[in-house]
Amino acid sequence: MLQHGRFEIPFRVYGDHPNVLLCVSGVLQTMAVWRSITRRFAPHFRVIVFDMPGVGRSRILSGDAHVTVEEQLEVVDALLKNAAPYGELTLAGSSWGTAIAAGYAAREPDAVQQLVLSSFGMKPNAVMEHIVAHAQQLYETRDYAAGADLIIDMFGQQIGPSYKRQITAQFANLSDDSADVFYQHCRNILTLGQLQDTVDLSRIRARTLIVNGAEDRIIDLDDMWIAERMIPRCECLLVDGVGHFLHFERPELLDDYETFMLGHTAQPVAEQVG
């Protein structure tokens, strides 16, 4: 457990390799979402997973439920200094976690050697704005369980029944404190606007891979090509027939991550473009 400022952050470390893989989750995603990643990459990295403030077993010790982008970046920095003070660093972000991972790589360009951004967007699109507005209504009526239906109906139709059950259970058991964090994050999404207004992507020096699903409804696919032009060493994978949840929909995508992160020759499941 790491105590940093007003937060108590649980984390786990898998493997003892000198090189580090730090995983940054999306909204309301606990460290458990990285289980398949830890199994796959623990032999090759010191894999660190954690719960962001207000998620899972983390605790907000003081102040309100609003966790700023700056505070999230500080949590990432504190974790790295505590659990991985040496070794080459790969940052992997999913969904909202891509904004935090990219932000850290831009802030500390010499510290990050590889950057993997899964389901990466530069701004909330019209579908996301609709989802956020609906989520705020559910929060105001305290109908947390309906949040799972909203997510699954709007952009989770392609995930398997097991992961759908996990999402349903998470929202059914959502505490008021976690719901407050989720609500504040939804407001954040709408007010932050364009990612490039707060993150200078051109400062990123890491080898960067962006992976998006062609069927992802909450991300404008043009965003990845915009980012590719801004990040100096960037390549993109656009995966046909896959939505927002990527390897949860097609587990073979882990081969593509391994090819990039380890330089191994593996049979890709997606054609590299860009």
221-238 residue pLDDT tens:
999 999 999 999 999 999
Instruction: Give residue-wise pLDDT tens across range 85-101.
Output: 788 999 999 999 999 99
* pLDDT value for 103: 97
- At 42 the pLDDT is 96
Is 20:41 a contact under the CB 8 Å cutoff?
no
Q: Counting every residue, how long is the chain?
A: 274
Q: How confident is the model at residue 189 (pLDDT cuts 50, 70, 90)?
A: confident
Confidence class for position 66, pLDDT limits 50, 70, 90 = confident
Q: Is 151:167 a contact under the CB 8 Å cutoff?
A: yes
- Report whether pLDDT(266) > 70: no
Cα 264 from chain centroid (whole Å):
24
Q: Which of 64, 101, 94 is nearest to 79 (CA)?
A: 101
State the pTM of this model.
Answer: 0.91
Q: If you search the block for the tokens 């020759």, which residue do you land on?
A: 265
For Cα atoms 99, 206, 52, give the angle at the middle one, nearest 5 degrees.
Answer: 35
Token couple for 216: 């992802």
**Better-predicted residue by pLDDT, 84 or 61:** 61
Q: Domains in the chain and their CATH numbers?
A: 2-122+202-273 (3.40.50.1820)
Indicate whether 271 pLDDT > 80. no
Q: Where are the alpha helices (DSSP H) in 108-252?
A: 126-140, 146-155, 161-172, 176-192, 222-230
CB–CB of 75/101 below 8 Å?
A: no
pLDDT in tens, 115-161: 999 999 999 899 988 988 888 899 899 999 999 999 999 888 888 89
Strand 7-9 to 59-60 pairing:
antiparallel
| pLDDT for 187 | 79
Q: What is the pLDDT of residues 192-225, one digit of tens each?
A: 778 988 899 999 999 999 999 999 999 999 999 9
Looking at residue 123, the DSSP 8-state letter turns out to be: S
Mean pLDDT over 107-117 rounds to 97
The answer to which of 38-52, 53-67, 240-254 has the lowest mean pLDDT is: 53-67
Distances (CA, A) of 135 to 154, 164, 179: 12, 18, 10
Q: What is the model's pLDDT at position 270?
A: 43
What confidence tier does 163 reach under pLDDT thresholds 50, 70, 90?
confident
**Separation in Å, CA 133 to CA 38, 54, 170, 213, 217:** 34, 21, 20, 24, 16
Decide if pLDDT at 265 tops 70: no
**Beta carbons of 66 and 184 less than 8 angstroms apart:** yes
d(CA 147, CA 140): 12
